[in-house]
Amino acid sequence: MAMNIASTVSLQNGVKIPLLGLGTWQSKEGHEVEQSVRWALEIGYRHIDTAAIYKNEQGVGQAIRDSKIPREQIFVTTKLWNDDSRLGYEACLKAFDQSLQRLKFDYVDLYLVHWPVKGHYKDAWRAVEKIYADGRARAVGVSNFLMHHLEDLLKDAKVVPMADQVEMHPYLLQKPLMDFCRQHRIVQEAWAPLMQGKLLQVPELAKIGAAHGKTAAQVALRWNVQHGVVTIPKSVQRHRLIENATIFDFELSTAEMAAIDGLDRNTRVGPHPDHINF
């Protein structure tokens, strides 16, 4: 399939989300995050992912303004944090207002409930639906929701989540969740697509990469986008941003895709969504 750095997939409501984005988790507020976002935009990225808990929304917004690229050409995601979810509907609306203030935007392209906080995520989703109805988020979704969370949410939801951003990499495929999302037209996004650096220890990826003149990281990212999964690798190094974006000049074969699928160990590098305590 022919793809490039500008390739997108369509959400349920027709809004297009770029397949490749820049993640900003642990990118420090100020110079570090501003520089990484500026570099990414210069390279050709048009999708930036942040969150209230990352505490760098202000820098993300500043870098986007500094780029002089029209706001409507850049897809920006931010997320509702757990503490606000626990405080209820009104607190969730206030938290969104605060994110917009930090970004200094009139809207975001995608707003996500960051984690499925037990007993609270339905109220959080009601608030997100209100934000969407008011036109202040072009699209809305969830993050770290497993299949049973989505099934529960859909019992009462007026709006079906348009995206679910979850941990996904060769050691964590979550095929039933992927199939469920496709069935309900929920676009899947991958965080930690590089297993927080641990994929460098996966010899199978290095071997496939060698056949294409690519790194193990590039193979993992290409595997994601060939699955139609939006992927948001994080880096604050310019050469890594370029490397992560250079995944559109080769294609994995059906056999290679199946081989990478077969690496699945149901192993996480991050928290399990059913056992969050933050």
What strands, in cross-sheet order, belong to the sheet with 47-49? 22-23, 47-49, 75-80, 110-113, 140-143, 163-167, 187-191, 230-231
Active-site residue 89, yes or no?
no
Is the CB of residue 132 less than 8 Å from the CB of residue 153? no
Place domain 15-265 in its CATH homologous superfamily: NADP-dependent oxidoreductase domain (3.20.20.100)
How would residue 200 be classed by pLDDT, with cut points 50, 70 and 90?
A: confident
Q: What is the mean pLDDT of residues 221-250?
A: 97
In this predicted structure, the answer to whether residue 53 has a pLDDT above a threshold of 70 is: yes
Q: Collapsing DSSP states into helix, strand and coil, what is residue 215?
A: coil
Q: What is the CA radius of gyration of the chain?
A: 18
Predicted confidence at residue 199, as pLDDT, reads 86
Per-residue confidence (pLDDT) for residue 207, from 0 to 100: 97
Average pLDDT, integer, range 211-217: 97
| pLDDT of residue 1 exceeding 70 | no
Higher pLDDT, 199 or 274: 274
Comparing CA positions, the residue from 8, 44, 42 lying closest to residue 189 is 8
Q: Look up the pTM and report it.
A: 0.97
3-state DSSP assignment of residue 252: coil
55: left (phi over 0), alpha (psi -120 to 50) or beta: left
- At position 111, the amino acid (one-letter code) is Y
**For 101-136, what is each residue's pLDDT tens digit?**
999 999 999 999 999 999 999 999 999 999 999 999
Candidate list 45, 54, 111, 132, residue with the active-site label: 54
